[in-house]
Amino acid sequence: MKKMLLVVLFALATVCASAQYKGDVAVDSLGGIMVKKGGTLVLDGVKVRGHNAETMIPEYYDRWRKVNLGYNIGLGLTTTGCTLFITSAAAYMYARNNAPAPPSTWAELVEFYEHIKSIDSYRDFMPWERALIESARLKYLSFPFLVAGIPTLCVYNSRLKQLATDYNEGHRNQDVSLSFGGQNNGIGFALNF
């Protein structure tokens, strides 16, 4: 009898109990969670786009449309600013590579000054001089696009993340189950929530 009691106590002592959090599993028609990949929201492997967004996330559609528009505006402004800045750098490199050597004597400096003084219009400039002027214009033109685009992109990027989080919170699986059987740690109880 004592041996039987010890075996039962040993068996009960070695039975494991575990609790497992299932995560944010959505219980919608697609049965998945929403994640943000790049500038797109993905719901159970399907990208949320304009043509399917209203049917996939009807309760969040208006909010998604506004957030997606803001994100795309920020992306466009940032891309435009970067393109202008890179173009200005290319124009500057062209001008520096094709410019004559700087004046080294007083006579060359006077001759260069006379050349600059004699220019009446923009088309009288040499090609390298025009490229230098355009590079400065493009550089200063790119800054407002970057200043407006980068913060807009960052703000709406975080709003897309928040939209995915809110969607997952609203569609979280609320089922709690207790099971007995084989678990990762052995035989025992498992509480899944």
DSSP letters spanning 60-112: GHHHHHHHHHHHHHHHHHHHHHHHHHHHHHHHHHHHHHHSPPPP-SHHHHHHH
Predicted confidence at residue 56, as pLDDT, reads 86
Strand partners, 143: none
pLDDT in tens, 35-94: 888 888 888 888 888 888 888 888 889 999 999 999 999 999 999 999 989 888 888 887
Query: Residue 91 carries which side chain, given as an amino acid letter?
Result: A
| Residue 161 near residue 176 (C-beta atoms within 8 A) | no
| Residue 162 near residue 90 (C-beta atoms within 8 A) | no
Q: How many CB atoms lie within 10 A of CB 90?
A: 13
pLDDT in tens, 107-166: 777 777 777 767 666 566 667 677 777 788 888 889 999 999 999 999 999 999 999 998
Tell me the DSSP string of 106-167: HHHHHHHHHHHHT--SGGGS-HHHHHHHHHHHHHHHHHHHHHHHHHHHHHHHHHHHHHHHHH
